[in-house]
Amino acid sequence: MYHTIVIGGGCLGASAAISLQRKLNKKGKQEKVCLVEKAVLCAAESSRHSGIVRSANADPDASMMAMISTKMWKNLSEVWGLDMELDEFGAIWIAKKNSEGENPVWNDLSKRMNKINLVFEEINSSSAVEKCGTTLLTDENESYFYEPDAFQLDPSILRSTLYDALDHNGVELMEKTEVDTILTKGSEIVGLTTNNGKISAKNFINATGAWSSQLFSKIGIKIPVTIEPVSVVNWMESPKQIRYEYPIIADYTNLCYFRSWRGNKMHAHQPRKRSVYEIAKNFLNDLTTVNGGEYLNEPMNQSLAYNQIKNYEDISKKRFSNIDKTVYASGYRSFFDITPDLRFILGKDSKYNNLFHNLGSGQAMKYCPVLGESIAEEIMNDYDLINKFDYKKFNINRFSDDYMKEFWNLVQGEENTLHRQGKNTL
Ligand SMILES: Cc1cc2nc3c(=O)[nH]c(=O)nc-3n(C[C@H](O)[C@H](O)[C@H](O)COP(=O)(O)OP(=O)(O)OC[C@H]3O[C@@H](n4cnc5c(N)ncnc54)[C@H](O)[C@@H]3O)c2cc1C
């Protein structure tokens, strides 16, 4: 019997397994953590992300967690027992100014970030160009903010580091092992059946991301998670124009994130949609399309259509002066796993005493060290980190029947008409 079985070998499952095994090892316990993955480590969303780590966030708890996470990434040997290469080039945030020529929302964010010692400061357009080179197109109606501590990492290096850290700390990794049935007794989970036999443990962590709602509905837990498809492109670039040491560009004018990629490429993807109507549409779509995360591993879904590449080309041309002279290198489709409020689902389940959730809601790679440590602390009853932010607000119990009723009321009946969608706020 294992101390804990983590279901799902993405970056969130792997980091939780590593943190928990390290805590057990430090206490001199002989007990083992087992990580069960139906394909291979980071087979899904965790290998198709952009590797961007920025901390400024409208939600103060999310910014605090991102700050702690940034410190962990930069001293990873303390958290995972080994270090990883990071590219620390900072990030430039860009948005349209309001009719008074200001950006009060980000000015306010800057003040709040200052209070937690996170630098997120306004810079002028020439300073932005200086940091990027003349290929960056600027506009007097835009404002520019700089987050120097932001960094980027390489998803394939993260994947290798996770393999090494699991091994280094003694986590048992079972790949190509799919959990089929969750066995319960009263308010406890007692075991799992898989294609490689039955396994049991004292505790269970759900880190199955987009697959969560399908797997756990079998034992009566409603996990409101679905997928929002997204496309990604990489443009071949000249290092003479866009060097590798290029800041991340978080472009909220054109709704696109850009970063330099190995092999002299410029990488671009669009962010999650924020309106309740758009979020709910993904929950509706899920009923009629390929189930949950299977979307990603379906080969027919991998290639990009011409209009998607063209969309990115049009956006890129608005931000970079030279992109029309460059070459499309590669692209693929991926998905964000999203919840109704676009926040994580973290911590103990409301129905089963020995079940803990660790899900990302579309933007969690950067938080994986802090999320792994937090879940490990909760399981070990050894609170330190989770006292530093409001961990409980991310608990699954917030999605009560009343909450979900209100959510669906926003997209049903009269609310589901186009003339009302602009008014929808949750
Ligand atoms: C285009 C794109 C760009 C992104 N960029 C960033 C970024 O710059 N910064 C950032 O922080 N985040 C980013 N993200 C988000 C980030 O990738 C995810 O939040 C993160 O990878 C989620 O990790 P996970 O472990 O929760 O999920 P996953 O990686 O999806 O892992 C879930 C795992 O569970 C396994 N599984 C499912 N069912 C079972 C079962 N029954 N039995 C066993 N195993 C099972 C699956 O095979 C899968 O490997 C991006 C996402 C996308 C799509």
- At residue 408 the predicted structure's pLDDT band, cuts being 50, 70 and 90, is confident
Per-residue pLDDT at 7? 98
Residue whose CB lies within 8 A of the most ligand 1 atoms, among 6, 7, 35, 50, for a mutation test: 50
Nearest partner of 89 among 249, 210, 203, judged by Cα: 249
Share the mean pLDDT of the chain.
Answer: 90
Kindly report which listed range (96-100, 122-126, 308-312) carries the lowest average pLDDT score. 308-312
Per-residue pLDDT at 410? 73
Per-residue pLDDT at 297? 66
Per-residue pLDDT at 419? 47
Two tokens at 208? 């199955």
Nearest partner of 208 among 192, 186, 231, 190, judged by Cα: 192
- At residue 285 the predicted structure's pLDDT band, cuts being 50, 70 and 90, is low
Two tokens at 195? 């294609």
Is residue 365 within 8 A of residue 51, CB to CB? The reply is yes
Is residue 5 within 8 A of residue 172, CB to CB? The reply is no
State the distance from the centre of ligand 1 to the C-alpha of 125, rounded, in angstroms: 35
Please give the Cα distance from 372 to 46 (Å, whole number). 15
368-380 helix and 60-74 helix, angle to the nearest 10 degrees? 100
Q: Whole-prediction pTM value? A: 0.94
Two tokens at 131? 């940091």
Range 287-305 burial, b when 16+ CB lie within 10 A, else e:
eeeeebbebbeeeebeebe
Residues near 202 by beta carbon (within 8 Å), at least 6 away in sequence? 1, 2, 3, 4, 354
Q: Has residue 9 got a pLDDT over 60?
A: yes
State the distance from the centre of ligand 1 to the C-alpha of 379, rounded, in angstroms: 22
Measured from CB, residues less than 6 Å from any atom of ligand 1 are 7-13, 36-39, 43-46, 48-52, 178-179, 207-211, 215, 230, 232, 269, 293, 334-336, 359-360, 362-366
Please give the Cα distance from 157 to 221 (Å, whole number). 35
What are 193-251's pLDDT values in tens digits? 999 999 999 999 999 999 999 899 999 999 999 888 899 999 998 888 888 899 999 99
178 CA closest ligand 1 atom index = 42
334 CA closest ligand 1 atom index = 53
Write out the DSSP string of 323-345: GGGSEEEEEEEEEEEE-TTS--E
Please give the Cα distance from 294 to 333 (Å, whole number). 12
What are 247-271's pLDDT values in tens digits? 999 999 999 999 999 888 999 999 9
Q: Has residue 301 got a pLDDT over 50?
A: yes
Residue 172's DSSP bridge partners are 34
Of 286 and 342, the structure prediction assigns the larger pLDDT to: 342
Please give the Cα distance from 54 to 90 (Å, whole number). 8
- The hierarchical CATH code for the domain 226-338 is 3.30.9.10
What are 19-69's pLDDT values in tens digits? 999 999 999 999 999 999 999 999 999 998 999 999 998 888 899 999 999
| For ligand 1, atom 51: residue with the closest CA | 49
Per-residue pLDDT at 139? 95
Span 94-121, average pLDDT: 94
Half-sphere exposure of 2 (CA within 13 A, CB side): 29
Residue whose CB lies within 8 A of the most ligand 1 atoms, among 45, 93, 302, for a mutation test: 45
Two tokens at 20? 């928990």
Which amino acid, residue 406?
Answer: E
Of 294 and 226, the structure prediction assigns the larger pLDDT to: 226
The alpha carbon of residue 241 and the mean position of all alpha carbons in its chain are separated, in whole angstroms, by: 30
CATH superfamily of 1-84+152-224+343-394: FAD/NAD(P)-binding domain (3.50.50.60)
Alpha-carbon Rg for the chain in angstroms: 22
Per-residue pLDDT at 325? 72
- At residue 426 the predicted structure's pLDDT band, cuts being 50, 70 and 90, is very low
Q: Could you give the dihedral angle defined by the CA atoms of residues 347, 84, 361 and 195, in that order, rounded to the nearest 10 degrees? A: -70
Two tokens at 400? 């009560």
Q: Has residue 425 got a pLDDT over 50?
A: no
Please give the Cα distance from 207 to 8 (Å, whole number). 5
Q: Has residue 95 got a pLDDT over 90?
A: yes
Is residue 27 within 8 A of residue 78, CB to CB? The reply is no
State the distance from the centre of ligand 1 to the C-alpha of 208, rounded, in angstroms: 8
Is residue 79 within 8 A of residue 72, CB to CB? The reply is yes
Give percent of the chain with pLDDT exceeding 70: 92
Give percent of the chain with pLDDT exceeding 90: 72
39 CA closest ligand 1 atom index = 47
Two tokens at 278? 């758009």
Per-residue pLDDT at 421? 46
Cβ atoms within 10 Å of 383's Cβ, excluding its own: 12
Please give the Cα distance from 30 to 32 (Å, whole number). 7
Per-residue pLDDT at 109? 94
Most trustworthy range by pLDDT among 47-51, 72-76, 304-308: 72-76
Q: Has residue 70 got a pLDDT over 90?
A: yes
Query: Domain residue spans in the chain?
Result: 1-84+152-224+343-394, 91-148, 226-338
State the distance from the centre of ligand 1 to the C-alpha of 287, rounded, in angstroms: 20
CA angle, 46 then 271 then 112, to 5°:
100
60 sits in which H/E element? helix 60-74
Span 71-95, average pLDDT: 97
